[in-house]
Each structure stands twice: as structure tokens, then as C-alpha cells.
Structure 1
């Protein structure tokens, strides 16, 4: 199923053939630079199953994204039910992960803007959060470009204490803040 499109992107259900490309993407050290580690196939498969479960349980999730010019899978952009132990969770998180070859084209910003619009107008969300490690300036810049506002910094409870990735920034946007 296709959920929505932008000028350059298609947001759709995952296809079985996406899984192998997703595995490769999650092994790429450039893509996973701001994560605790790259993922082995079994970890990607578990994550893929979580994504599928969220679509079944909530009616939304991390949409498979492809480019319109060649229908090539480039990663995901969409929503995730974040429920780790923190003062702002559980919450709806917007997130993205794209193949390295897709970086630098504005796809994350274009796609995240479209997701916010879909989330507020179609899914009727009231508030959407996003977070990343403080050193991930590229993702933080996307959050700013799509109109999100910094709420706070926090220590991510699922990341070991001495890791450079533990300190996170939290951004949020509410329906009334959405620019059309």
C-alpha cells in the first residue's frame, strides 16, 4: 500500500525484497555512525518485525521510502511508538534512516515534513517527538528544518553511561505549530 507521496518520494508498506537492502544499510558504519553499533542480520530482522507489528497494532509505522524516479528503496521515514523509560515516554516519535547514497539530497527533510503533515492531518496526532544523540548534528538540523522545537537534553537510558551517544536532544512539534 502507498500511504502518500512527495515530489520525489513514495511512502509505502515494506516489501519482502526491502529486507535484504535494509540489512545492508544497517551494516553500513556511515549510516549507523550515531547508533551504538551496526546491526547483524538477525538484529535487523527483529527490527523489521517490530516495524511490521507497529503497522498492525497502531496503523502507522516507519514507512519504507523509495524514490519516484527509479522506485529504488532508500530507507525509512515515519513514526515509532517510543516506550523506553523516560519522562516524555511513551510517545510518538518521528524518525528516519536512509542509505548513505541517499544522503545530501534533502530526502530526510522532504520526507519528514510530509510525514508530519500526514501524522497531524490523517492520523490525527496531537504531538510528535524526535530525538537523537547530541553529536548527531545532521539529524538535529532536520528536526529544526521541519519546524520542531528543542525541548531538552537527556541521558538515553538504553545507552551505556560512558558512551558519547548517551547524551540526547529532544525535539517536539504540536499540531498548532505545523506550518503548511
Structure 2
């Protein structure tokens, strides 16, 4: 049985081969990638999708593809996955999202992220869900705060995949506990 989580306006679902082109376009939009790093090649996209499929297979959750209900338009992704190794998220669930520019400012990220938090705390009984971003990504950490997540300054870190001096290397961490 494949995963499907629906909200009033959205569907979060497992990745399909047909998502690759829209995902590639999103990950090559400089506005979307401003705080995330360089554009992604087709090989990078394939590897990212394979990782998400692996998380879904092995853990029962991942950063799911997000589409608009009604017309099925690809909007981006949102979901929960195992926290990245070598970071303060390792050993914890990590929530994350990325939306195509045309989907910004419509409340989709909050709607999807709230559904994912509710699902993670309820269905999977996860006790601690974390998120990370760079300090300059005000839209992302602002959403974390609107979701009731709290900044964990003691967990801030330099991302191990980025070189010293890279302006995207410093990361801040937010957390929400199930009972919050």
C-alpha cells in the first residue's frame, strides 16, 4: 500500500517517476535554492529521489512529494525523514519542506508541515521532531516558529557537507516535542 496524506488543499504522497522533471526545475530555480545550495543536476535529482524512496521503504516516512488537490500540480515536497548523520538531527526525526516558487505565499508549506507533525506525533508516535535551516532563511525558520517549534541554540552547527567559509554552512536547529 502506498503512502498518501491529504489536507484540505494538498496531497502528500510517495515519489513517482513523473515527478523528476518538475523536481529538477524546482531545484534549479535560484530563488528556491538561495539558502539550499547550488542547482542540482539530473544525477543529483535521481540520487535525492532514491534516498527518499529508501527512507520510505526502511522507515515508513520520507520527504514526500506535494501536489495540489484537484489538479495534481506538483508543488514541491514536505515530510519527515531520519535526521542527517553527523548533525544534531542524527537519531531524531527531521521535518523539512521545499516548494516551487509559484507555490510560495499561499500557506501550502504550513498546511503540509502541520499535517506532517500531526501524522508523526500521532501515527508514528515520534516524540521529538527537529528542523534545520540557515540563519538567513527567515521564511523557513519563521514557519518553524509558526508551527510551534522552538529554537535550540545549543544544537546549532556547521553543516558537515559544506566547506569552511561557505555562507550556507552555519545551521540553526528548531525542535518540537510531542506534548507541545
Question: Considering the TM-score relative to the shorter chain, is it more than 0.5?
Answer: yes
For 1:84-111, what per-residue CA distance to the aligned partner results, in whole angstroms no more than 9, with x for missing partners?
2134423210000111110111111111
- The change in CA–CA distance for 1:7 and 1:39 in structure 2 (over 3 A counts) is same
- How many residues of Structure 1 are paired with residues of Structure 2 in the alignment? 177
CA–CA separation in structure 1 for the residues paired with 2:87 and 2:67: 33
CA–CA separation in structure 2 for the residues paired with 1:88 and 1:3: 25
Does the aligned pair in 1 maintain the 2:88–2:157 contact within 8 Å?
A: no
Aligned ranges 1:23-38 → 2 under 5 Å: 23-38=24-39
Report runs of 4+ in structure 1 exceeding 4 Å deviation.
none
CA–CA separation in structure 2 for the residues paired with 1:95 and 1:88: 12
Return 5+ residue gaps in structure 1 as ranges. none
Q: CA deviation at 1:16?
A: 1.6
Does the aligned pair in 2 maintain the 1:36–1:159 contact within 8 Å?
A: no
Aligned ranges 1:9-48 → 2 under 5 Å: 9-48=10-49
Q: CA deviation at 1:83?
A: 3.0
Alignment-derived partner of residue 145 in structure 1: 146
CA–CA separation in structure 1 for the residues paired with 2:3 and 2:89: 31
CA–CA separation in structure 2 for the residues paired with 1:129 and 1:100: 24
CA–CA separation in structure 1 for the residues paired with 2:80 and 2:89: 16
Match of 1:154 among 154, 157, 168: 157
Return 5+ residue gaps in structure 2 as ranges. none
For 1:23-42, what per-residue CA distance to the aligned partner results, in whole angstroms no more than 9, with x for missing partners?
11111111111122110110
Alignment-derived partner of residue 86 in structure 2: 85
CA–CA separation in structure 1 for the residues paired with 2:116 and 2:13: 12
RMSD: 1.2
